[in-house]
Structure 1
Amino acid sequence: MIDVTVENFEAEVVAASMNVPVLVDFWAPWCGPCKSLGPVLEKLETEYVGRFKLAKIDSDQEQQLAGMFGIRSIPTCVLLMNGQPVDGFMGALPEGQVRAFLDKHVPTAEEMVAEAEEEEAQEALAEGDTGTALEKLQHAVVTDPANDDARFDYVKLLLQLGREDDAKVAFAPVIAKAAMSRKLGALKTWMDALDFVASGAYDASAEAGFEAKIAANKRDFDTRYARARWLITQQRWTDAMDELLEILMRDKAWSEEIARKTYVAILELIEAPKPKVAEGQIPPEDPVVATYRRRLSSVVLS
């Protein structure tokens, strides 16, 4: 619990809510119901062990903040997440109702652990420590199997390391969701390309064969698409997108727009996780991703 004023509001409430839900309790010393609600909130903050942060604002002393939130009566509680108010309640609710309110919004203990593991994995990857990153991501998936973001990063790293069988095992629980999720669908595109290349017996001489066929017929889209899939298996992402652009420039709708769909999947695979930023700020975009997004737009919209 922390007492919030105008001076520390930005840091203790807005910025803090980018990482953990912040419950703001507007109260006053003379308010009887506030005195009964306060201990309940403090007890739950302790019990929830970091799953939310309690911030208390004396509405008499901090009228500017109370006015900013449109407080008309106290106690009033407002929950902020990612810098924005998302819900709230008025009055001294009993503990059971406050608990139910919190459980609608705050992450579970498992989700908190998985998120922390995922962040540590990204830090390890930035330092080139793939072993630690893989261990952290695996633990995140085991701890919170419903965390598709952690699973995406885990399967993606397995594929990057050439551990295709392990990737397929880790992907199996969510394969049915691939058609409804851009991220999971991107992983399936990668694994389908691996299966395609393996079944076609492509080897180190494959590229020369592709180039010969394409040189003979620029509109041999089947070969161009096969080459793009082969390049995906080599993790030559920009080369694969360049090949797909060649198809799109000649026939955007070929084979039910498979070239565009595969191109979008590659963008999803190569885009690094965006860091959390303060309200109103835009996270930086990978320059390669930005360039290839523009190229796709210019071709598709032309």
Structure 2
Amino acid sequence: MEQIIGQSPAPNAAAPVAAGDLIVETTTQTFARDVLDASMQVPVIVDFWAPWCGPCKQLTPVLEKVVLAAKGAVRLVKMNIDDHPAVAQQLRVQSIPAVFAFKNGQPVDGFMGALPESQVRAFIERLVGGVGPTPAEEAIEAGHAAFEAHDLAAAAQAFAAAIKLEPGNPAAVAGLARCYIESGDFERARQTLGLVRPDARNDAAIKATEAALSLAEKSADLGDTSELLARIEKNPKDHQARFDLALALNARGDKEGAVDQLLISFEYDRNWNEQAARKQLVEFFDAYGPKDEVTLSGRRRLSSIMFS
């Protein structure tokens, strides 16, 4: 491809890129230094954007996230084409966002449009190899590990750190809310869920945590299950007793037992209380997640009853 803004420098012209310079803004005057010179040391990705461009606002944070995850293996340079149009014109950029990758002073790859994170990550990995997790992702992973180990304090601290690094991150918000649910602080859990960024309100982790919060609130005052079991033994078609028992079992972590009780109730009378058993099963499945074994088997059994 043709040279951009003058000739490429000699390979020894650029100093190594400092960690604090992984993401910078450039101008027409500084483009040769920020991109051509720097790309003699590490690949440089140039993000052509403009303040009025909606897709640019979606793409740039994704680029920043993946570049930071690469930990110095690649650099991101952002260029506002409204203020500095010359380079974009020379590269024949016709729409934005437009992204170009430079190596050794020359453009070697690129794409246009707001790609999802998976495709951005693949684009960068073609340049530099594997890209590790971001600091926020590492904190979230640590939070999940602590939560599984029942160390709620450590889990909450890790999820909070991730939120500080990436405000509104749905996985971090959901994880911290789960910590509050587990500790019985439902109000704090609800407040935490409100921290999720607007574009992630329907994220699977957020929806599952909202369902888990709803279940926890319903189960809070159920108390001992012996009375419910006695009522069911006396009258197997006591649907309210089975419904309450399912909530109590779920609160204790017995997901299979909870689903069993609602399936039995639904099989006896699917229309009881406006199909309350089916609706509660759906909430269970939302809380457990679509890949959970209890969700998968429960959905199959529910379908079998409905279509029998």
Cα deviation, 1:45-83, whole Å, max 9, x if unaligned, reads 8x955256659xxxxxxxxxxxxxxxxxx7541488676
Distance in structure 2 (CA, Å) of the matches to 1:50 and 1:223? 53
Q: Which residue in 2 is equivalent to 1:294?
A: 300
2:160 aligned residue: 138
User: How many aligned residue pairs are there?
Assistant: 215
CA contact (8 A) 1:141 1:150 kept: yes
**Cα displacement (A) at 1:132:** 2.4
Structure 1 pair 126–171 and aligned structure 2 pair: CA distance change class (3 A)? closer
TM-score by length of 1: 0.53
* Stretch deviating more after TM superposition (148-157 or 256-265): 256-265
One-letter amino acid matched to 1:295? R
Q: Is the 8 A contact 1:178 1:185 kept in 2?
A: no
Once the two structures are TM-superposed, the CA of residue 245 in structure 1 deviates from its matched residue by: 1.1
Matched, 1:217 2:188: no
Identity rate, percent: 21
AA partner of residue 304 (structure 2): S
Q: How far did residue 43 of structure 1 move?
A: 5.0
* Structure 1 residue 147 displacement after superposition: 1.8
| Counterpart residue identity of residue 138, structure 1 | A
Asked if the contact 2:207/2:287 (under 8 Å) is kept, the reply is: no
Say what the alpha-carbon RMSD is for the aligned residues. 4.4
The structure that is helix-richer by fraction is 1
Residue pair 2:208, 2:288 contacting (<8 A) in 1 also: no
**Separation in structure 2 between the aligned mates of residue 147 and residue 251 of structure 1, nearest angstrom:** 42
| Superposed displacement of residue 137, structure 1 | 1.0
Deviation at 1:118, TM superposition (A): 0.8
Give the deviation of 1:121 after TM superposition. 1.8
Residue from 241, 244, 248 that aligns with 1:226? 244
Q: Which residue of 2 aligns with 1:202?
A: 222
User: Residue deviations 1:2-34, cap 9 Å, x none?
Assistant: xxxxxxxxxxxxxxxxxxxxxxxxxx6xx4349
Summarize the alignment of residues 4-19 of structure 1 with structure 2, pairs less than 5 Å apart.
Answer: none
1:35-184 alignment runs, 5 A limit: 39=37, 42-43=43-44, 48=64, 50=68, 54=74, 76-78=109-111, 84=119, 112-125=134-147, 129-173=151-195, 183-184=205-206
The Cα of 1:185 is off from its aligned counterpart by 4.3
Q: CA deviation at 1:215?
A: 3.2
**CA 1:230–1:121 in 2, change beyond 3 Å: closer, same or farther?**
same
Superposition deviation, residue 267 in structure 1: 3.2
Deviation (angstroms), 1:216 = 3.7
Larger radius of gyration: 2
Q: Tell me what 2:93 maps to.
A: none
Whether the aligned pair in 2 keeps the contact of 1:141 and 1:147 (CA below 8 Å) is yes
Which position in structure 2 is the counterpart of 1:282?
none
State the alpha-carbon separation in 2 of the partners of residues 189 and 81 from structure 1. Answer: 27
RCO higher in 1 or 2 (8 Å CA, sep ≥ 6)? Answer: 1
Q: Secondary structure at the match of 1:77?
A: strand
Could you list the runs of 5+ residues in structure 1 that have no partner in the other structure?
Answer: 1-27, 56-73, 89-110, 273-284
In structure 2, relative to structure 1, the CA distance for the partners of 1:127 and 1:260 (3 Å cut) is same
Q: Distance in 2 between matches of 1:83 and 1:172?
A: 26
User: 1:274-293 counterparts in 2 under 5 A?
Assistant: 286-293=292-299
Distance 1:179 1:214 in 2: 39
Shift of the 129–38 alpha-carbon distance from structure 1 to 2, 3 Å rule, reads: farther
Instruction: Report the CA distance shift for 1:161/1:299 in structure 2 as closer, same or farther (over 3 A).
Output: farther
Taking structure 2 as the reference length, the TM-score comes to: 0.52
For 2:223, give the aligned amino acid. D
The match for 1:249 is: 267
